[in-house]
Structure formats: structure tokens, C-alpha cells
Structure 1
């Protein structure tokens, strides 16, 4: 297998045009390749500046999970720090987790940040909805977001070998008029649910409004976890 390491967008597009298979840390596909055979040509974005950026409001898809630091909001940093083992985090990438993984541990944090996705194609680079990127398994170049007022993240314990642990992410945003909204996203098994409710009112009203969204259909334990995490974020906002 030949692995190309483009250093510019145009080089990366040439690789795609030649049929190169995008690969990050290969933590998810290595066993499959060993079983089914390796592709003739692969491409890694780890030398591409647009894909390796770690900055306020932007995170590249080729960034290793171990490099996700306090430059980004707490919700993203805490999620990245709980994925797999240290060895996995030193190899796995942001894009591989969001798009290539069935677990999508970083997707709930990205959703509550209202992140926008920049996608690389053979003939263009464009911004699109993150949900579309995941559904179509497009080649993610980076995600970007407007800084939230406050964020939070919680991951429950799970039995080894069982279903993925329940996770909930939350963030509060303010619009140009100063009105605030609470975004909450949860991974329940392999499904990710999200909801947005206004949070200019008191905390109890906001929490009750969450119960009327898709998150209100979760089982009692998960629903209580969502409520607790949302309350924690709202309390921190008030402080």
C-alpha cells in the first residue's frame, strides 16, 4: 500500500482524483484491511495545515485525539480525553472518530457547539452541515464553531464488551440579541439525539422544556443524566 501525504489542498484533491482512500490513524480499519486486503493507494491529511489546525473556534480532522487541548471548549476536550486508551488517543484522529467510527464519541460535543463542517472533495472545498457529513461519510477537513458561553460533558460507566456508554454533552449559546439557547446531545447506544431549547427563563422551566423534546423519550436513568448535566451547565452559567 502506498500512502500519500499531501501538503496542500490541490495535492489532496489530486490524490482523491486518483482514487486514494482517506485514512487517519487507521485504528478502525487496520483489522479490516488485514482481513480483506489493503488498498493500493491511501492518503493521510496529517501534513495538511487545514486539517491539523487546533485553534480557538477551529479543529482539524487530522488532529490526534491526544492533541485536543484547552484551546477548544471543555466539552470537546473532555470527550476526546475519554476515548479509548492513551495509545488509541495518540493514533486516532478527530475526523476518524466523527465520520469513520460507529461510536462517534465527538459527535455530541460537536453538535452542541453547533459546529460547521468543511468538506474536501476532488473538485472543491465547501462548508456543510455536520449531520450530512456523517450520513454521507464525506471527507472532513475541519470543524468550526462560534464560542459558547459554557459547556459540559458527562460519560457514564459501561460494562466491557457491552453497548457504548451513555454520554451527554451540553452548551449554552447567545445570539446577537442576547437571547440564550441550550443545546443538548446524547449518545444512547449507537444513536445520537439532540435538542435545543431557549434558556432565558428559569432553570426549572428550561429543564422541563427538555422533557418535551426527543431526549424525553430516553429511559429514566439516561433522562436523569441529561437533566443533571443540563442543570450543571445552567448553574455554571448563572455563577
Structure 2
């Protein structure tokens, strides 16, 4: 297997035209390649500047998970810290987790940040939403977002090799007229559901907020998952009270 390491977008586009297979840390595909055979040509973005940003409002696809720290919002930092073992986090990348993984542990966090994705095809880079990235498995360059006021992340305990644990991600941003916008994303099994609603400034509004979320894509969640959403949303609103 020949591995290309582009240092510019023009080089990366050339390698895509050559049918190079994008790889991140290869933590997900290595066993498959050993079984089915390695591709003739692969491409890593680890030397591409656009794929290596790590800033308060941007995160590159080639960034290793263990490097994600408190420069990014809490929800994203905590999500990265729960993925696999330390050895996995030192090899796996943001792009591999969101595009290449069936678990997509970072996806709920990125969704509540209302993140936009910059992707690359043979015609060049362009911006799109995360739903398209996941559905079409685009070559992800980076994510960008606006920093929320506060955010939170919960991942249920789980045994290695078992079913995907429940994930609840939340983020609260300033809205209009002194109100706020609450975004929530839940991974239940392999599916991710999202919802957002306006809310006031305190935990006393929790019931109203939860009613608003129940009218979104979070409505069909099973009771156990709804209970966790209630706890996480109420806790986020209490944190807002204490600011």
C-alpha cells in the first residue's frame, strides 16, 4: 500500500482523483484490511494544515482524540475523553470517529454545537452540515461552531464489546429577547436523535423546556433515555442559574 501525505488542498485533490482511500488513525479499518486486502493507494491528512486545527471554535479531522482539551467546549472535550482506551485515543482521529465509525461518539457533541463541516472533493473544499457528511461519507477537513454559554455530556457506563452505551449531549446558547437556545442530542443504540427549543434562564423552566424537546425528534425516545435527558437538561439549567 502506498500512503500519500498531502500538505496542501491541491495535493489532496490530486490524490482523490487518483482514487486514494482516506485513512485517519486506521484503528477501525486495519483488521478489515488484514482480512480483505490492503488498498493500493491511501491518503492521510495528518500533514494538511486545514485538517489539524485545534482552536476554541474549530477542530480538524486529522486531530488525534487524545489532543482534544479544554480549548474546545466542554461537551466536545468530554466526549473525546470517553472514547476507547488511552491507546485508541492516541491513534484515532476526529474524522475517523465521525465519518468512519458506526458509533460516532463525537457526533452528538458536534450536533449540539450546531457545528458546520468543511469537506473536500475533487472540485475543492466546501461547507455542509453534519447530516450530509455522515450520509455521504465525505472527506472531512474540519468542524467549526460558535462557542455555547455552557454544555454538558453524559455517557452511560458500558462493558467493552457490548451494545453502544446511551449518550446525551447538551449545549445552551444565547438567543433573542433575553432567552436561550437549548440543543440536545441523544445516541440510543446506533441512532442519534436531536432536538432544540427556546428556554428561559433557570431550572424552574425545566418542565417547559422538556415539553418543548418532546415535540422534536427526541419525542420517541424510550422512557429510560427520556429520564436521562430530563436529568441532564435540568442540571444544565441549574448551572446557568449559578453563572
Q: What is the TM-score when the length of structure 2 is the normalising length?
A: 0.95
Q: CA–CA distance in 2 between the matches of 1:176 and 1:68?
A: 31
SS in 1 for 2:185: strand
Instruction: Give structure 1 stretches of 5+ with no counterpart.
Output: none
Q: CA deviation at 1:135?
A: 0.3
Aligned to 2:122: 122
What is the count of residue pairs matched by the alignment?
Answer: 239
Q: CA–CA distance in 2 between the matches of 1:69 and 1:61?
A: 15
SS in 1 for 2:219: helix
Q: Which runs of structure 2 are paired with 1:159-170 in the superposition (5 Å)?
A: 159-170=159-170
Aligned to 2:213: 210
Aligned to 1:235: 238
Aligned to 2:21: 21
| Runs of 4+ residues over 6 Å off in structure 1 | none
Q: CA deviation at 1:234?
A: 1.1
Aligned to 1:198: 198
Q: Which runs of structure 2 are paired with 1:116-155 in the superposition (5 Å)?
A: 116-155=116-155
2:87 paired with 1:87: yes
Aligned to 1:224: 227
SS in 2 for 1:43: strand
Q: What is the TM-score when the length of structure 1 is the normalising length?
A: 0.97
Aligned to 1:52: 52
Instruction: Give structure 2 stretches of 5+ with no counterpart.
Output: none
Larger deviation, residues 210-219 vs 104-113:
210-219
SS in 2 for 1:35: helix
Q: CA deviation at 1:212?
A: 2.9
Q: CA deviation at 1:220?
A: 1.6
Larger deviation, residues 177-186 vs 4-13:
177-186
Q: CA deviation at 1:190?
A: 0.2
Aligned to 1:77: 77
Larger deviation, residues 196-205 vs 130-139:
196-205
Q: CA deviation at 1:178?
A: 4.4
Aligned to 2:3: 3
